[in-house]
Amino acid sequence: MSDHGDFEIQIDEDPDEIEIEFIDVGEVPASNEDVGTDPGVVEPSGDDDEGSTAQLELQKNEHQKEIAHLREMYLRKLAEFDNFRKRTERERAEREKVAGLEVVQDLIPVIDNFERALEHASASSREALEQGIEMISKQLIDVLGRRGLEIFDPTGEVFDPEAHEAIQRVEDSDLAPGTVAWVVGKGIRFGGRLLRPAMVGVVSGISERAQSSVTKEGNGS
C-alpha cells in the first residue's frame, strides 16, 4: 500500500484488480512558505501608528493656537468698534449741543429788539412800529438763514405740486392758468429739505406745464 496525500492505492495479489480507496488522512498543516502574505499589501507597523498619532496631535495643537489667535483679534476689533461708536455718539451730541448754543446766541439780539419794540409800542407811531417789526423779522430770518433756513414766496410762478399746496382756485385773473396768484403762507425749506409747502391760490385752468404732464401720462411715457 502506498500513501499519496489524501488517498491510498491498495494493490491485491491479482494485478488485474486494482482498488483505489479514498481515506481521510486529516488536515495537513500548511507550512510557513505556503501561508505567505500578499506582496501588494503593506502591513502597518506600530511605529507608523505612533508617528501618525503624534502628527495629528501636532496639527490639532496648531489649529487650536490659530483659533485662539483669531478669537483674540475678533474681540480686539469688537472692542475698538464699540469704542469708536461711543466716541462718535459723544461727538455728535456735542456738535448738536454747540450748534443749538450758537443759534440761541444769535437769537439773543432778536429777543432784545422784540422787548424794546413792545416797551415803546404805545409811545411809537404806527409807522415806526411797523418799521421796527419789519426790522426784527428781517433780523430773525437772517439768523435762521445762516443756519440753512430758506423762506420762498412763489407768487407769479407756475404752480409746482412738489413745493406748493393749492388751497383756493382763482377766477378772472390776468395771469395765465396754473399760475400762483397769491400766497397765504410762504414755503419753508431747511438744508434743502421742504419743511412746509407754500400755501397758495392758483389761477383756474391747466397751464402748459400741467398740460404737458397730462399728455405724457396719457402716452404712457
Q: Look up the pTM and report it.
A: 0.49
For residue 159, being part of any structural domain is answered with yes
pLDDT band at 205; cut points 50, 70, 90: confident
Q: What is the DSSP letter of 179?
A: B
63 and 86 assigned to the same domain: yes
> Does one domain contain both 193 and 137?
no
Is the pLDDT confidence value at 18 over 60?
A: no
Same domain, 76 and 112: yes
List pLDDT tens digits, range 64-93: 999 999 999 999 999 999 999 999 999 998
Same-domain check for residues 103 and 90:
yes
CA–CA separation, 110 and 132 (whole Å): 11
Last residue in a domain, options 97, 127, 147: 147
| CATH classification at residue 173 | 2.30.22.10
Same domain, 84 and 120: yes
Q: What pLDDT does 204 receive?
A: 87
Mean pLDDT in residue range 35-56: 64
Q: Do 125 and 154 fall within a single domain? A: no
Pick the last residue of a domain from 98, 129, 147. 147
Please tell me whether residues 141 and 154 are part of one structural domain: no
177 and 206 Cβ atoms separated by less than 8 Å = yes
Q: How far apart are CA 204 and CA 24, in angstroms?
A: 128
Whether 67 and 125 map to the same domain: the answer is yes
What is the residue range of 78's domain?
A: 56-147
In the chain, the number of structural domains is 2
Query: Which of 203, 197, 195 minimizes the C-alpha distance to 184?
Result: 197
Are residues 181 and 102 part of one domain?
no
Q: Which of 90, 114, 147 is the last residue in one of the domains? A: 147
Query: Does residue 80 form part of some domain?
Result: yes
Tens digits of per-residue pLDDT, 101-158? 888 888 999 999 888 888 887 777 888 888 888 999 999 999 999 889 999 999 999 9
Q: What is the CATH classification number for the domain harbouring 62? A: 3.90.20.20
142-186 tens-digit pLDDT? 999 988 999 999 999 999 999 999 999 998 668 899 999 999 999
Average pLDDT score over the chain: 78
Whether residue 169 is found in the same domain as residue 199: yes
Percentages helix, strand, coil for the chain (3-state, rounded to 5) are: 50, 20, 30
Confidence class for position 218, pLDDT limits 50, 70, 90: very low
Percent of the chain surpassing pLDDT 70: 70
> Does residue 29 sit within a domain?
no
Q: Which of 175, 184, 167, 183 shows the shortest CA–CA distance to 203? A: 175
- Per-residue confidence at 198, pLDDT binned at 50, 70, 90? very high
The answer to whether residue 39 is domain-embedded is no
